[in-house]
């Protein structure tokens, strides 16, 4: 039976080459639309997520605020100024926090020979490397505990700043002047894409030990405190505990949301995922409609085939062919057309995605759109759609063919 079905299918293709070619081409184009849109959509979503994590790896940045409620006889409007010791207080009091760092900021002037520039400088601790994905390039390092204890005059530079100050030289181990004080460069940050930032990208930032910056500038209050929950699900618990602990120290109502301001990257990541899902669904909808139109074309072709072969169908039924055989014949022909077109479309998409993934991703359009992903999930979804469309495109014409009256069919020429 299967051999006869395949033989009939090949005979039809050979008899109506132009029609078969256009039908398969329509399915191929529909498959290309679905797969490429999903592949590039997934790549864009991954790049957006990665860019957000590069700005803040599931962290919360805590700023002092201004009380919005009277408390213990003190009127509202009292400023809350965070201190360096608050970072250790939070770490000790809240077990759900695994990393925390005080954060000082200063606008500094860096000079190397005749090259000079102003930039943002942050004073932080070694945990900042993981919390902000500030990974050093090969040959360098980030800050360490000894740098903090000894208040070393060391700097980690963003890649763009290092390039402007040192040109083609290797900056590691070189000395530069920060204001009027010599500092040693111990690391250069790896280039990365950021979809969110605070006072500029990390590529244009200088990093030093927080103890060094505090001593140089005589700071008594930190600009902010960076907190990293052990796991994202602990986010809300950590927020509540932060308000509870600091409200007890600074004497404000723990329910007073204006007392502290928290920039929550975890919440931003959740919103980013929702946006990514929305974009993916939209792109899938566009591709699916294209493939659906191609499926309608297959159904129309199968109706034409049924009409052309009405006499043949009647003869087969007259000599004993069952209704199920007739149904199977046209359904399988529709499925074969769908899968041949789908296979050609997937092969083309695999080639396009493979080529695009070889392009440099650190500059130009690819830096923002990311690398497309030809994932098994996309292939499985597309194959399922092809099977569904082929089945529907073949079923209704097949049902019409199976309902042919053998006597009436012999009248067709």
On whether the CB atoms of residues 106 and 181 are closer than 8 A, the answer is no
In a domain, 148, yes or no: yes
Element (H, E) at 85: helix 85-93
* Structural domain boundaries enclosing 380: 2-53+270-409
Residue with tokens 């184009």: 29
- pLDDT above 80 (res 130): yes
In a domain, 128, yes or no: yes
In a domain, 89, yes or no: yes
> Same domain for 300 and 369?
yes
Q: How many CA atoms lie within 13 A of 263 on its CB side?
A: 14
Q: Report, in angstroms and rounded to the nearest whole number, the Rg of the chain calculated over CA atoms.
A: 33
C-alpha to C-alpha distance for 212 and 217, rounded to whole angstroms: 9
Round the average pLDDT of the chain to a whole number and report it: 85
> Same domain for 91 and 239?
yes
> Same domain for 353 and 392?
yes
Q: Which pLDDT score, from 0 to 100, does residue 267 have?
A: 86
For 288-323, write each residue's pLDDT tens digit.
888 888 888 888 877 777 776 666 666 666 666 676
Query: What phi and psi, each to the nearest 5 degrees, are found at residue 170?
Result: -80, 115
In a domain, 352, yes or no: yes
Query: What phi and psi, each to the nearest 5 degrees, are found at residue 136?
Result: -75, 150
In a domain, 58, yes or no: no
For 191-238, write each residue's pLDDT tens digit.
888 777 777 788 999 999 999 999 999 999 999 999 999 988 889 999
Q: Which of 224, 221, 233, 234 is nearest to 263 (CA)?
A: 224
C-alpha to C-alpha distance for 352 and 348, rounded to whole angstroms: 6
């Amino acid at each position: 039976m299967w051999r006869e079905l395949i033989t009939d299918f090949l005979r039809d293709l050979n008899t109506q080459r132009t029609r078969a070619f256009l039908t398969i081409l329509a399915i191929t184009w529909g498959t290309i639309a679905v797969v490429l849109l999903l592949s590039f959509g997934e790549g864009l979503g991954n790049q957006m997520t990665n860019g957000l994590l590069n700005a803040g790896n599931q962290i919360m940045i805590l700023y002092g605020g201004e009380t919005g409620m009277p408390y213990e006889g003190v009127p509202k409007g009292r400023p809350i100024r965070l201190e360096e010791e608050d970072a250790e207080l939070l770490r000790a009091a809240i077990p759900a926090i695994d990393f925390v760092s005080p954060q000082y900021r200063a606008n500094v002037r860096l000079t190397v020979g005749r090259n000079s520039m102003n930039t943002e400088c942050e004073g932080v601790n070694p945990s900042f490397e993981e919390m902000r994905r500030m990974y050093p390039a090969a040959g360098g390092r980030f800050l360490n505990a000894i740098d903090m204890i000894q208040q070393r005059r060391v700097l980690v530079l963003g890649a763009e700043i290092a390039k402007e100050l040192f040109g083609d030289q290797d900056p590691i181990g070189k000395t530069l002047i920060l204001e009027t004080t010599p500092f040693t460069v111990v690391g250069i940050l790896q280039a990365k894409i950021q979809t969110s930032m605070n006072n500029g990208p990390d590529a244009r930032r200088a990093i030093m030990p927080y103890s060094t910056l505090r001593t140089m500038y005589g700071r008594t209050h930190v600009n902010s405190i960076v907190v990293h929950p052990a796991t994202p699900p602990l986010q809300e618990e950590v927020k509540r505990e932060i308000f509870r602990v600091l409200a007890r120290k600074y004497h404000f109502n723990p329910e007073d949301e204006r007392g502290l301001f928290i920039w929550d990257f975890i919440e931003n990541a959740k919103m980013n995922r929702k946006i990514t899902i929305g974009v993916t669904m939209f792109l899938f909808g566009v591709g699916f409609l294209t493939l659906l139109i191609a499926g309608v074309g297959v159904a129309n072709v199968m109706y034409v085939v049924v009409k052309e072969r009405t006499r043949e169908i009647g003869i087969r039924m007259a000599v004993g062919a069952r209704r199920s055989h007739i149904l199977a014949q046209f359904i399988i022909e529709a499925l074969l057309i769908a899968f041949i077109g789908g296979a050609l479309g997937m092969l083309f998409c695999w080639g396009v995605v493979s080529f695009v993934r070889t392009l440099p991703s650190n500059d130009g359009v690819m830096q923002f759109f990311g690398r497309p992903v030809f994932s098994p999930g996309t292939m499985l979804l597309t194959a399922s759609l092809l099977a569904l469309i082929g089945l529907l495109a073949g079923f209704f014409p097949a049902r019409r063919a199976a309902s042919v009256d053998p006597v009436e069919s012999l009248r067709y020429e």
